[in-house]
Chains A and B, each alone.
Chain A
Amino acid sequence: MIYDLVIIGSGPAGMSAARQAAELGLQVALIDEQSQPGGQIYRNVAKASKQQLDILGPDYCAGRALVERLSHEQIVHIAVATVWKVQKDGFVYYTKNGKADFVQGKHILLATGALERACPVPGWTRPGVMTVGSAQILMKAGGLVPDNAILIGSGPLLYLMAVQMLAAGCKPKALLETQTFSSLKSALPLLPRSLAGWVMLSKGLKYLAKLELAGIKRYTGVEQISLHGNENAKATEAASRVQFVHKGKRKELEADLFLLHQGVIPNTQITRSLELAHDWREDQVCFAPQSDEFGRTSCERIHNAGDGAGIGGAYVAALSGPLAALDIAYSLGVISRAVRDEKAKVLLKKRQDALAARPFLDRLYTPPKDWRLPQDETIICRCEEVTAGDIRSYVALGCTGPNQTKAFGRSGMGPCQGRYCGLVVSDILAHETGLSQQEVGSYRIRAPIKPVSIGELASLDR
């Protein structure tokens, strides 16, 4: 069967698009890696316990409505399916239960969300160092709360995480924040003078007040962060100490777990593998696929919605999904242009209002320079253990582009395919060569975007 629409990713964008498309009469297949719809932001939300919902808070609970709206006879949910190849002709290949399979759509909507930005500080590859996002997933899907942990980096998620840990009775040991007073000063003029701006601000202040009340130590403007093991103990491997510079003084703290976060970036693995056009977004310090207000990409049959098209957050994603669905229904001839535009009006307005706060957040939590351009010894490609210094030495040997770095030293060629090091490599090359990130470009990504074995492929041979 050929579906009208194949949606990849069942986070807020994918789920809301599926519902909108189904309501317009489209046959929809929604493919996702997890067993439950929700994406990472609403991971496991339909099955979460009362205790989990209480701890995770109202923004998480909001995902339940989206999941409920997925039960519609026009929507087929293909769960626990790992997509490894998407083709411009509408074929989507995936692996499920150890077997490869495919679906075909007249149209494709990519809703693959975000990845956490790499946090290349010395020692970030050690066991016991994880991302804040990973700890969120463990709370949502595993019922595990980080204990005796230090949160490091910047961004609203750092505070949300700390507040949730408090609610769960596991007070974070400290917050090491990279944003400085001058980041706040340069961001303040961007604070929207609108209701949305005030809501956001008051929420942020409420979180900070809670942390203060609980007596959690916050170090801001922290620099030169590095993670270390306990060299005297038998298990030297896992991180047990963080060193950093605060107000010109070198400091050290001990903990059992170190959670890093420096915001999120669009997951562009599929859009890159399709060779869609991408732009460097200086405001968000990342690449994003070109897409218009309806999520149309440089390929006619492929739309893109949610954080994968540029970071806007879950609420914005849930507005972008239906907008893409409306446009897809229009291009399939199901609704007229006038109907599309009429239905889109409210969504566009809401999204515009919600995005008003974005420039402020982007500026306030812009990744610090030493995380974007790490010192020479720092590993940037986790898979192949390539350091920032290695990349710089390739430039000295005449390497100008990210793809060439692969030939010089296998960076980006490990199983993660440059998901974490990609942006860092582009940034370092841009800095070293004096070219812009747009000119330097990014790794070429080839299918399969997730490993697939010969055994799994056997099922396609039919």
Chain B
Amino acid sequence: MFKPLKKKTDDEMVTIHFNDQALQVDATMSVAAALLSHDIRTLRQTLKSQSPRGPFCMMGACFDCLVQIDGATQQACMTMVQEGLKIRSMQQNPENLQDEAEQNASETSGSETGGSGQNSTGADT
């Protein structure tokens, strides 16, 4: 579905893992682009109807590309690949993302934020 403009050499590639599948990808790509280059288009399923979803806008606006990257929920189109990156598709809806985010930010003004260091955004696996 997508063709690379130019074949990259081995030292321009890195290895990433998508659901335990190892993939050789162009080191300059976003995670979403890298997966698309391997014809992987489904990155998650919605909770409500288990409908498959994949990258749609590629500019961080639609949030349909949400995946788990090294344990944290991230937008695949806004994250660059790196050697050894572990990506998992998400079975759960990122439904709570916004609610939690709102709560988090309302706490900023008071600067009352606990420093747990834990990423909270929908990472409930």
CB-based contact B51/A116 at 8 Å: no
State which residues 75-101 of A face B: CB under 8 Å.
82, 84-85, 93, 100
State which residues 28-79 of B face A: CB under 8 Å.
28-30, 33, 36-37, 41-43, 46, 48-49, 51-64, 66, 72, 78
Known contacts A127-B52, A145-B2, A170-B3, A457 near B104 by CB under 8 Å: yes
State which residues 76-115 of B face A: CB under 8 Å.
78, 80, 94-95, 97-102, 104-105, 107-108, 111-115
CB-based contact B58/A133 at 8 Å: yes
B18 → chain A, closest Cβ, in Å?
A: 14
Collect the chain A residues with CB atoms within 8 Å of residue B100's CB: 451, 453
B122 → chain A, closest Cβ, in Å?
A: 9
CB-based contact A125/B53 at 8 Å: yes
Contact mask for chain A residues 412-425; partner B; CB cutoff 8 A; 1 contact, 0 none = 01111101100000
Collect the chain A residues with CB atoms within 8 Å of residue B116's CB: 454-455, 458
A117 → chain B, closest Cβ, in Å?
A: 12
Partner of B52, one of A115, A237, A382: A237
B4 → chain A, closest Cβ, in Å?
A: 6
Collect the chain B residues with CB atoms within 8 Å of residue A129's CB: 56
Give A48 to B42 CA distance when docked, in angstroms: 28
CB-based contact B1/A147 at 8 Å: yes
B121 interface contact, C-beta 8 A? yes
CB-based contact A460/B119 at 8 Å: no
Residues on A lying within 8 angstroms of B by beta carbon are: 33, 35, 40, 49, 51-52, 55, 82, 84-85, 93, 100, 115-116, 125-131, 133-135, 137-139, 141-149, 168, 170, 237-238, 256-257, 267, 382-385, 413-417, 419-420, 446-448, 450-458, 460-461
27 cross-chain CB contacts under 8 A: A49-B5, A49-B6, A51-B5, A84-B105, A85-B105, A115-B57, A125-B56, A125-B64, A127-B43, A131-B58, A142-B30, A142-B36, A143-B29, A145-B2, A146-B2, A168-B3, A382-B53, A382-B62, A382-B64, A413-B98, A414-B98, A415-B66, A448-B105, A454-B104, A455-B119, A457-B107, A458-B116
Residues on B lying within 8 angstroms of A by beta carbon are: 1-6, 26, 28-30, 33, 36-37, 41-43, 46, 48-49, 51-64, 66, 72, 78, 80, 94-95, 97-102, 104-105, 107-108, 111-121
